[in-house]
Structure 1
Amino acid sequence: MAVFTKVSEEQLHSLLERYFVNPEIRLFEGISAGIENTNYFVDVQDESGFSRWVLTLFEMVTPEELPIFVALTQQLAAAGVPVPAALADHDGQSIQNIAGKLCILVPRVTGRQLEDPSVEQCRRVGRLIAELHLAAKNIGEYRAVVRNQAWLEDHEKALEGHMPQNDAALLKGEIQYHHDDRSNWGDSPKGWIHGDLFVDNILFDAEQVSGIIDFYHACHDYWLMDLAVACNDWCYALGQGYQQQKLAAFVEGYDSVRPLTDSEKKQWSSALRLAALRFWISRLISLHGGGYQSQAEQGEVFKNPDEMKEKLLAACKQSCPV
C-alpha cells in the first residue's frame, strides 16, 4: 500500500466522474503503509452527499486475476463478512484504469490497526477467520496457490547467492522438509484463504472488527495456512517467541466455529513453518530483487526478512494448542 504510481488530481477527477454526479475532491492523499500496491485516501462530495474511499492501483496483480479478487470480496461482503468491496461505476464496472494501472475504488473502513492485540481480540479474530472460510465455501471463483513447492524451489536457487551460508543451508533444508511433508497433510480441508492476515489487514472499531482488507494473496489452499499466517503475526513477539496465551485463544476461537481435524492438529507446527518460510522468501525477494518496490514515491516498502526466519525456527517447537 505504499505509493509507487503518482496520480494527478485531474486524472482522479476524471475517474470519479465514472462513479459520482458532479464530484468534488475533498481529500486526496497517498497512503504510505504497505509494500505491494499503490493506495490513496479519497474523500468525495457529490449530489448524494459526502463519502470516503480508498483508491487502489495494482502494481503486481494481473488483468486475468483481478476480476477474481473483486468477485471474491463482493460475494464475501454480500454474505455479511466485514470486507470493503469494490464500487461499481455508472455502467456497472468495478475495475478501471488510471495512470496506466488497473484500479478499484473501495469504501474507506473506519477503525484502526491494533498495536498490541489482547487475548480476547485474538480469540475474536480466530472466530472471524473461521467464519470467513465457511462463508467462502460456495464461492465459485478459483485461484491456485502461487507460493507452492515449485515457487519455493525456484526462489531458493535465485536467492542462494544473496544469503549467508548458514541461512542458505536453512532455506534449503526447510524447502526439502516441506517437499517430504506434503503427503502428511492427508485430508486436511481446503478452500478460499485470505493468505495475508497480518495485524495490519484487520481493522478494529472499538472492540469490533470493522474490516478485513488486502485480499490480493487470496487463493485456494489449506484453511490451516490462513490460521498459521495469522498466528505467526498476532501471537508472536520478536525476541520473545510465541505468546502462548494469545496463541491458545486465537486457535480456540477458530476451533469454536470450525473445529480443526486430527490431520490439521498434527500439521500445526508444519503449517507455522511453511507460513513463515513463504514470507521469509517473499521478503528476501523484495529486498534483493530490485523490482518496482525500490521506486516507491513514499513509504517504507521493505520488511525485515530476519523476522520471518526467527519465527520459522520457533515454529519447529510448537504443538497445536487445542
Structure 2
Amino acid sequence: MMQRLFRNRAFLGGLLVIGAPVSAILSFGTVDQAAAQIAGVPLAQHRAVYDMKLADSQQQSGIAGLSGRMVYEFSGDACDGYSVNFRFVTQFQDVNGGLQVTDLQTTSFEDAGAENYQFLSKTYVDQKLVESSRGAARLESELKAIDLKEPTEKTLEIGKDVQFPTEHLMSILNAARTGGHFTASDIYDGAETGDKVFATTAVIGAKAVGEVPEIDGKRQETLDAIASWPVTVAYFDPSENDGNGEQTPVYQLSFRLFENGISDKLVLDYGDFKLAGTMTALELHDHTSQSNCSN
C-alpha cells in the first residue's frame, strides 16, 4: 500500500504536478515547439502547500485514518531548465489502531529541452530510510539512456518519446490550450526503484477562468485571469498488462490545472482508497521571463 501511495509525484509536476503528457496522440512535435506554444503564460515559479486527508476508504484497504501535508516547490524557466522540490508526509492509522508515519522527499532537475533529467528520491517510514533512487537520464539519437546510481548501479535504455515530468506537464497544457480533451504518454520520473516507465492517459475538461482556490477564506486573486481545466491522469504499469483486456490503472490523479502550472483540488484515487488535497498556502516567486535564450 505504501508503494502505491508514493508513486504519485510524476505530475505533481504538475502537481506534478504536480506534477505535469505519446507524440502519436499529440500533433505538436518536439517539446521546444510545445514550450513555444505556451510561452504566453510561462510556468509559474511557486511554492504550494496542500493538506491531505482520507476522502474514502474500503475495508480491504486496511486504512482507518490518514492525514498529511504535501509541499511542492517549482522553480526555473524555459532558458535555464526546471527544478522541483517535493515533500509528502503522512500519518496512517490501520484498522487495528496502529500508526505509521511516512515521509517522501524528492528533488529533480529537467533542462529546458527535455534532453537531460536528474533525480533523487528518498522514502522514510517512522524516520527509517526504506527506499531511495538516484540517477540521471539523457536523450541520445534514438533513445533515452538512464544512469542509475541507487538503489543499484546500472544503465537502462527507454524510448526516445518517453517524457520527463515537466515535459509531460507542458504537453497536457498544450493540449488543453488548443481545445484537446485527451492525451496519452509514456513517462519516466525515476520513482520507486528508478527503472520503470509508466503509461498515462489524461482527460481534460472544459476551460474556465476565475475558478481560483481560497486560502483562509481569501480568494487567490493572482490567478483570477489565468485559465484552468479539470484534469484526470491515469497511471498504468505496462509490466502488469497481461494482454487479456482493459488494464486497471495503478492510480488516478485528478486536479484543477492552471495555465501557469499551478494545481488545486487534488484527488488521488488508488481504487480501494482516495486522498483529497486542499491548498493551504501559495507563494508566487518573482521572476523576469526571458523572451530569448542565448545558446
Normalized per residue, the structure richer in helix is 1
Give the TM-score normalised by structure 1.
Answer: 0.24
Higher Cα radius of gyration? 1
